[in-house]
Amino acid sequence: MIHDWITAETSIEELSERLPPSVAYLSEHGIRCIICGEPVWGTLRSAAREKGFAEEAIQGFVEDLRRLAG
């Protein structure tokens, strides 16, 4: 199954609600905004850019998260 709801524009809040393992995945990649108490709103792209990730890395996160979703 393709999890096309997971894109660079998917909100961090939606990822954490619909795919709980995404919290650990993002944390392992330095995107800790979910755990540290900062607001969870914003997109995967905006959170990754805040941490200095380039667009290629962001697209890699999307692909990895889709695989993680099964």
pLDDT in tens, 1-60: 678 999 999 998 899 889 999 989 998 998 865 555 555 568 999 999 989 999 999 999
Contact between 23 and 35 under an 8 Å Cβ cutoff? The reply is: yes
Distance CA 43, CA 51 (A): 13
DSSP code per residue over 10-70: SBHHHHHHH-THHHHHHHHTT--TTTSSS---SBHHHHHHHTT--HHHHHHHHHHHHHHT-
pLDDT value of residue 38: 57
pLDDT value of residue 40: 54
pLDDT value of residue 65: 97
pLDDT value of residue 36: 55
pLDDT value of residue 1: 61
Q: How crowded is residue 33: how many other Cβ atoms within 10 Å of its Cβ?
A: 19
pLDDT value of residue 2: 74
